[in-house]
Amino acid sequence: MTWSEFRRRVIRTFGPGLERTNYGSVHSFCAEVREELAPTPRIDGAFLIVDEPAAGYDEVMRSFFESTLEQDPEGAAICLWLHAFETWYSEVDQGADEERFRGLMNDD
């Protein structure tokens, strides 16, 4: 997938100003594109359980960033954009949830 193909797909999915985002659409989009870029190993259609040597989030992220250095520039840019987009939107969504439920949790 080239950067221009990816960009068109983002705009088609979320709009030119990313105005059509919601948690489900962001998560699904990111998962779908990641699956296209690096398909999950399967045997006869079933997921293959991969032995993950990382013991925690820090090691997983270190491995992710290391692997992006081995990719072509467009692939690395797409992976980093997806990571940043999903991280950003999860923060936005969490903030919206906190705001919605603030009154319910207030002990006043």
Q: Which two three-digit tokens encode residue 62?
A: 């270190």
Question: What span, in angstroms and rounded, lies between the C-alpha atoms of 87 and 49?
Answer: 25
With beta carbons less than 8 A apart as the criterion, state whether 9 and 33 touch: yes
Question: What span, in angstroms and rounded, lies between the C-alpha atoms of 80 and 64?
Answer: 9
Domain count of the chain? 1
The residue assigned the tokens 């797409």 is 78
Q: Each residue of 25-43: pLDDT tens digit?
A: 999 999 999 999 988 777 7
Q: Each residue of 69-92: pLDDT tens digit?
A: 999 999 999 999 999 999 998 877
pTM of the model: 0.74
The residue assigned the tokens 């987009």 is 85
Show the domain range for 49.
Answer: 3-105
Identify the pLDDT of residue 105: 63
